[in-house]
Structure 1
């Protein structure tokens, strides 16, 4: 049951009510994690976070950055998104699965000025219950962006990049938020980063700790108390990071809704581990 009063968050029933609305575009953000033959909503288009991000080698400065607005116009055309569209996005249900990819789509499209994007609380488990499912076929159900000649976003002020981040470490007016799992923060390498540990002074706030055991975002009151107990200060700039910026986007979206000023480190720890100091607590 949806507990968080957030205009960018809707329940699965909202999807059902808008099933016949031609202006509603549904995105399945599970992307490449979705196995062939798995169930998906029958009117959805599958989009992976890499489909809407700049690509490059793992640990490089490029991987995970947003694309140009011109690139997104090409992608929107493929998705049949226009200025009067409403975009509904779902991902895997956390905390068991998923990386918050649904909010990554919201975060990304916000850069283009497309603000009528909402993600579905409770993820695919709630969507599946509606009964309008089909088996996923990658050749026909996933967006094909192979013809998009990618270029980097300009004036992307919702993000921060490595050189500026390095200057802000230790700044009393900045708090750095590690949104990976606590075991990653404490030194376990899961996704191949060059070093174990975390950015000096970073606060551990795992992305999936924002949802309850059923995968619904916790209430505003619960989240306010949680982040306050973590030491987050609304008078300071929050910088979120994870491995490549996806999980961090999810936390950035929620923190911003709670009234924080947030910038997301898009290349994230995969890049930072190659160039910055790492600590273990």
Structure 2
């Protein structure tokens, strides 16, 4: 697989070369935990890649759920994307203000909705800015385009399916949270959640898959990181994290490896950690 793949990950050089393509659509998918105290929409309004639209992960979600930013119904996704001028035939590139973080969640949402021409910008806005590439503070010109959605149910798992996988051991459940949160020694950033992890899961903190510059490691290094965490890549995988955001980074990495039998536990620890009847394990892998 080449370094630039419009279905998974593209470089800032690739995006700069395609910036004026008529069917390119760029999304700022920045999202942060409240503890970070960053306002992604305000940052977007102040400066973004030319032509970029702001993708609000909390808005493009299922507001019927009490869990944070769960995947939206397909009709809502279609409606929001049409309002943003994104539809069939577009090549979508998603970035975020952290480098490579929440953009992967947006990539996963598009894949869940059956859209394949979507990639994450490697290194995100920090790398783009550091290279002195163009930015603007203007709102984009939006023209409606229809989007055909075909939900790919195999890319998402609910609590019942994850509970079954945990008991049967027929999937690798991979947790993207920090080692301390996984082990149960560090508190959860969301109030009311127990500490620990899903029994039988493996810990692969998402930062392990990134370079010091915030870009994704190359394929051999990614494979080595999964193997070092004791993960059997021959088994189907379910990724999880705090609320289904950084779990998508693990999914993106596996897609880069050519592994396609993965899914994201959308509720993640925000759901599992809140239910006293679900078992919790502590300690390391």
**What are structure 1's unaligned runs of at least 5 residues?**
144-152
Q: How many residues align?
A: 259
Alpha-carbon distance change, 5 to 234 in structure 1, aligned in 2, over 3 angstroms: farther
Question: Is the Cα–Cα contact under 8 Å of residues 30 and 98 in structure 2 kept in the other structure?
Answer: no
Alpha-carbon distance change, 102 to 64 in structure 1, aligned in 2, over 3 angstroms: same
Q: C-alpha displacement at 1:36, in angstroms?
A: 2.4
Question: Is the Cα–Cα contact under 8 Å of residues 197 and 279 in structure 1 kept in the other structure?
Answer: yes
Mean Cα deviation higher: 161-170 or 65-74: 65-74
- Correspondence for 1:41: 49
Question: Is the Cα–Cα contact under 8 Å of residues 98 and 124 in structure 2 kept in the other structure?
Answer: yes
Distance 1:66 1:16 in 2: 30
Distance 1:235 1:24 in 2: 35
TM-score by length of 1: 0.83
SS in 2 for 1:73: helix
Distance 1:280 1:156 in 2: 30
Alpha-carbon distance change, 213 to 219 in structure 1, aligned in 2, over 3 angstroms: same
- Correspondence for 1:85: 90
SS in 1 for 2:269: helix
- Correspondence for 2:16: 16
SS in 1 for 2:106: helix
Q: C-alpha displacement at 1:130, in angstroms?
A: 4.0
Distance 1:5 1:166 in 2: 36
- Correspondence for 2:197: 198
- Correspondence for 1:220: 219
Please list, as runs of the form range in 1=range in 2, the aligned pairs for 1:123-138 lying within 5 A after superposition.
Answer: 123-128=124-129, 129-135=131-137
Alpha-carbon distance change, 107 to 235 in structure 1, aligned in 2, over 3 angstroms: same
Question: Is the Cα–Cα contact under 8 Å of residues 16 and 130 in structure 1 kept in the other structure?
Answer: no
**What are structure 2's unaligned runs of at least 5 residues?**
33-38, 143-149
- Correspondence for 2:156: 159
Alpha-carbon distance change, 65 to 201 in structure 1, aligned in 2, over 3 angstroms: same
Alignment counterpart, residue 178 of structure 1, candidates 175, 178, 188: 175
Distance 2:64 2:191 in 1: 15
Question: Is the Cα–Cα contact under 8 Å of residues 31 and 47 in structure 1 kept in the other structure?
Answer: no
- Cα deviation digits, residues 83-132 of structure 1 (max 9, x gap): 111111111334xxx6x211111111112222111111111112223432
Question: Is the Cα–Cα contact under 8 Å of residues 5 and 219 in structure 1 kept in the other structure?
Answer: no
Distance 2:168 2:235 in 1: 10
Question: Is the Cα–Cα contact under 8 Å of residues 29 and 47 in structure 1 kept in the other structure?
Answer: yes
Alpha-carbon distance change, 196 to 121 in structure 1, aligned in 2, over 3 angstroms: same
Question: Is the Cα–Cα contact under 8 Å of residues 198 and 278 in structure 1 kept in the other structure?
Answer: yes
